[in-house]
Amino acid sequence: MAQFGKPVVAAFDFDGTLTRRETLLPFLRYLLGDMQVTRHALVLSPTLTGYGLGLIDNDVAKERVFLRCFAGMRLNELEKQGERFASYVIPGLLRDEMMQRFAWHKQQGHRCVVISASLELYVLPWAFGAGFDDVIATRLETIQEGLITGKILGANCFGIEKVNRLRTLLGEKDGYTLYAYGDSRGDRELLSYADHAYFREVPN
């Protein structure tokens, strides 16, 4: 219930919270095929290893992957692939219990937001199709004729950036009651900011 009559917002992380796993690799495999992804992974192995060891920040590692995989592509073509991925692949990756939680919030009339470091080009079409009210996600920079540079547009939607972007969308939290759902260190600031925080424990 809303506190003191304030409206209620439910903010859901995407990868690992609404879905059972990270979605970038499945998207790359869908877009490029396994052989091309393997080639890119070999070139990116120092970056991926450094990220796994905590030596390279999430935004730096992610941008290097985007530069390798997306630079020079046209945004409109990539968005079409993102829409297909959202329609045909994402439904098979969803967590039933979290979708039930989302459905409960919708039934209560709460404003539901997906807030994710994943790519907007597939999170947005899936989320709007599922009935979410707003999408906050990571976007790609483009130059003339809609060509993708491979760089992230603005900041990676991770950590404190999730709180910053939510404030930009909704204003300060004294105007609403916030439920937040997450599963990783990229959600910690959002969960700390919320009135009601739910951290999904990952099994060993």
Looking at the domain 3-199, which fold is it?
Answer: Rossmann fold (3.40.50)
Show the low-confidence residues of the chain (pLDDT under 70): 1-4, 201-204
- pLDDT for position 203: 45
- pLDDT for position 118: 94
Give buried/exposed letters for 168-200 (b at 16+ CB in 10 A, else e). Answer: eebeebeebbbbbbbbbebbebbbebbeebbeb
Kindly state the tokens that stand for 107. 């039934």
- Return the axis-axis angle of helices 75-88 and 24-32, rounded to nearest 10°: 110
Q: Is 128 left (phi over 0), alpha (psi -120 to 50) or beta?
A: alpha
- pLDDT for position 1: 43
- pLDDT for position 201: 61
What are the tens digits of pLDDT across the range 174-201? 889 999 999 988 899 999 999 999 997 6
